[in-house]
Amino acid sequence: MKSWKKPTNELINKALQSTKKVTARKYFFSRLENPLWLQPLVERGCFHSPPNSIRWDYESVLFPYWPEIQYLKNVARYVPHEVINLVLSLPEVDNPHVYDGILDIALQLHGEQSAKLKPKMLEYVGIEHQFLMHRFADLLAHWTAENQTSAALELSKALVALAPHLQSEDNQKWLREIPEWETLPEPFPRMDTWDYRDLMFKGVCPLAESEPYKVACLLIDATANMIRLGTHQEYPGKEEDHSDIWWTRLREADSDYEGPMEGLVHTLTFACEKVFEKSPDEVVALDKVLRKQQWKIFKRLHQHLYGPMPK
């Protein structure tokens, strides 16, 4: 470790007295790199209350910057254990600025140290607003490369899931009144379409190379839920999902699909094919999982995968 000078109480108190204004705090914590300041700052309560968002009215929300997170990013490489424990002890907030900093720390760290921040990343997925969703693809790829596939699988499950398009009680009533022959609104991901494509191509596909069967099962569940969300629940037991319309070919070039639904099925197909290529012992298990599924898309996928095999 670089040789650092231990700060005196007088120096610490003087520094904190001079950082009352936000601009001064930003400057101080962005420039501070000495890890020996961490414990004294913790003892003075500098990290105990990261800010929540501030809602001005129905449409306007302010997300305050938290300068202290920059210091934690600066020293994480020198005292990773201390930073990890501190980050995990932080209260849950709804401010994406805080979680963006934690995501940066997770990308800095290696192996199990990085994966220990998984609880905070799952919190980030669950809040209403996110700023840097494209970085999740980088984090999944990082955890896969660092052999932290268990953490990557759990985070992937939260990220790939599509949500109902309309969730309020009034909108749910409206959805129930749509005739059976009309199409329901498509479910949507937690991020925009481009970021979702990025997540699949840069994050989930590398994970499928490492854990093809587990990723395939994860994506089968996500696909089944996606179809369920876009299907009239008053007509159970049907297999029709109209996938021959919105996904005419199961195997496409990586950049050919357009929407999240197509991207999800494309990545599912990729993962299933990787089972045949890299995990032949699990081909039979995958066959059983696909046969249990209700929707037409899975029967088409099963035919795509197992049809050419001799009976």
What per-residue confidence (pLDDT) applies to 157? 96
Residues 12 and 73 in one domain: yes
Q: Are residues 170 and 28 in the same domain?
A: no
d(CA 282, CA 272): 10
Average pLDDT estimate for 43-58: 89
Q: pLDDT per residue over 274-311, tens digit each?
A: 999 999 999 999 999 999 998 989 999 999 998 865 44
Residues 152 and 204 in one domain: yes
**Residues whose CB falls within 8 Å of the CB of residue 203, separated by 6 or more in sequence, listed in order:** 136, 137, 138, 139, 140, 141, 144, 152, 156, 159
* DSSP secondary structure string for all residues of 21-86: SHHHHHHHHHH---GGGHHHHHHTTTTS-PPPPEE-SSS-EE----THHHHHHHHTTTSHHHHHHH
According to the model, what pLDDT value does residue 283 have?
Answer: 95
For the cut 60, the answer to whether the pLDDT of residue 69 exceeds it is: yes
pLDDT of 252 reads: 55
Question: Within this chain, do residues 158 and 278 fall inside the same structural domain, yes or no?
Answer: yes
266 and 117 assigned to the same domain: no
Least confident segment among 67-71, 121-125, 208-212, 241-245: 241-245
Residue 7 in any domain: the answer is yes
> Residues 212, 103: one domain?
no
Is 166 in the same domain as 90?
Answer: no
Does any domain span residue 141? Answer: no
CA–CA distance from 219 to each of 88, 157, 262, 265, 266 (Å)?
A: 29, 8, 12, 8, 10
Residue 11 has pLDDT above 60, yes or no: yes
Compute the Cα dihedral for 280, 281, 282, 285 and give only its sign: positive
Burial category of 224 from C-beta neighbours within 10 Å (exposed 0-12, middle 13-18, buried 19 and up) = middle
For residues 56 and 101, state if they share a domain: yes
The answer to whether position 13 is within a domain reads: yes
**152, 295: one domain:** yes
Give me the percent of the chain exceeding a pLDDT of 70. 84
Q: Which long-range contacts (CB under 8 A, 24 or more apart) does 20-28 make?
A: 22/65, 22/67, 25/67, 25/68, 26/65, 26/67, 26/70, 28/67
Stretch 66-77: mean pLDDT, rounded?
Answer: 96
- Assess if residue 137 is contained within a domain: no
**What's the number of domains the chain is made of?**
2
140 falls within a domain: no
DSSP, res 188: B
Beta strands 61-62 and 54-55 are: antiparallel
Does the structure show a pLDDT above 80 at 58? no
Residue 40 counted as domain residue = yes
What proportion of the chain, given as a percentage, has pLDDT over 90?
65
Whole-number Å distance between alpha carbons of 249 and 271: 16
CA 272 to chain centre: 21
Q: Taking residues 209-216, report their average pLDDT.
A: 97
Identify the three-state secondary structure at position 91.
coil
Q: What is the mean pLDDT of the chain?
A: 86
165 plus 104 within the same structural domain: no
The token pair at 170 is 């009034």
What is the structure's pLDDT at 59? 73
- DSSP E strand stretches across the chain: 54-55, 61-62
Report whether pLDDT(152) > 60: yes
> What is the tens place of the pLDDT at every residue in 228-283?
887 755 555 567 777 777 777 766 544 455 688 888 999 999 999 999 999 999 99
Nearest alpha carbon to residue 301 among 241, 260, 214, 257:
241
CA dihedral 191, 193, 199, 201 (to 10 degrees): 180
What are 93-104's pLDDT values in tens digits? 999 999 999 999
Instruction: Please say whether the beta carbons of 299 and 224 come within 8 A.
Output: no
Domain that holds residue 98: 1-132
The mean pLDDT of 54-77, rounded to a whole number, is 90
SS3 percent helix, strand, coil of the chain, rounded to 5, is 60, 0, 40
Q: Per the domain annotation, does 170 fall within a domain?
A: yes
Looking at the structure, tell me whether residues 75 and 110 fall in a common domain: yes
Highest mean pLDDT among 8-22, 79-93, 173-187: 79-93
Residue 142 lies in a domain: no
CA–CA distance, 27 with 46 (Å, rounded to integer): 15
- On whether both 75 and 222 belong to a single domain, the answer is no
Residue that terminates a domain, selected from 82, 103, 132: 132
Choosing from 83, 101, 132, the residue where a domain stops is 132
Question: Which pLDDT value is given to residue 67?
Answer: 95
Question: Is residue 15 scored above 80 in pLDDT?
Answer: yes
* Predicted local confidence at residue 182, as pLDDT: 47
- Please list, in sequence order, all residues whose beta carbon lies within 8 angstroms of the beta carbon of residue 22, skipping any fewer than 6 positions away: 65, 67
Which has more confidence, 290 or 181?
290
